[in-house]
Amino acid sequence: MKKIRLGVIGLGSRGSTLLGTILATGDAQVTAVCDVYEDRIAAAEKKLTDKGEPAPKGYTDYRQLLAGKECDVVYIAASWEDHARIACDAMRAGKITALEVGGACDLSECWELVDTWEQTRTPFMFMENCCWGKFELLSTSLARQGKLGTVVHCHGAYGHDLRDEVLGGSTAITACAIICTATAKIIPRTSWGRSPCFSG
């Protein structure tokens, strides 16, 4: 079977992890990668070639990736503020577009996505993909089989408080970590290790 030729835009925490997930499907080949940081491109290339894959074409400008012929599908895992713009450009370039959450920062960007899809009809999907996680599928299956008894109430929440990060940015968090470390105070684990746009 012909493999899907995929380009990954954004090779941070999510994008670099996804490389392995994509390969594990057995259906896709990562033929192009893009990040504004060259070392992230190099790391992605190494990750793929170490697994016996051909080296993907690396780009620092996503517009060049979109103009290239290496991939038919793009997976966008860049920073939030660039999501809508890159996704609309991808649809206009005719690349099947998979866009990570959040997808849009305001209503105008939501409409931009809708309008662009209506104009281009390029297949587009938001990668709100937790629902296909092992735990979520197991829960659904147990409920459908009646193993949980009668479900009378469901309560869901995504406990990922981003208020500090949105209001203060990663610099504030880093500064907080340094101050807390300097004064030898124990700080909550949730304050550590956040990348500028960790959000998923």
Cβ-based nearer residue to ligand NAD, 38 or 115:
38
Which of 8, 11, 23, 91 is close enough to bind ligand NAD by CB under 6 A?
A: 11
Which residues inside 30-49 make contact with ligand NAD, applying CB under 6 A?
34-37, 40
Residue spans of alpha helices (H) in 68-159: 83-92, 107-120, 134-144
Q: Which one, 185 or 189, has the nearer CB to ligand NAD?
A: 189
Rounded CA-CA distance 40/10 in Å is: 9
Residue 68 in the binding site for ligand NAD (CB under 6 A): no
Instruction: Tell me how far CA of residue 27 lies from CA of 21, 46, 182, in angstroms.
Output: 11, 20, 49
Cβ 24 vs Cβ 52: under 8 Å: no
Specify the residue, 138 or 148, whose C-beta has the smaller distance to ligand NAD: 138
- Give the integer Cα–Cα distance in Å for 29 and 91: 20
Q: Which is nearer to ligand NAD, 80 or 117 (CB)?
A: 80
Taking CB under 6 A as the rule, does residue 79 contact ligand NAD? yes
Among 4, 5, 13, 120, binds ligand NAD (CB under 6 A): 13
Kind plus residue range of the DSSP H or E element containing 65:
helix 62-67
Residues numbered 135 to 194 that lie near ligand NAD (CB under 6 A) are none
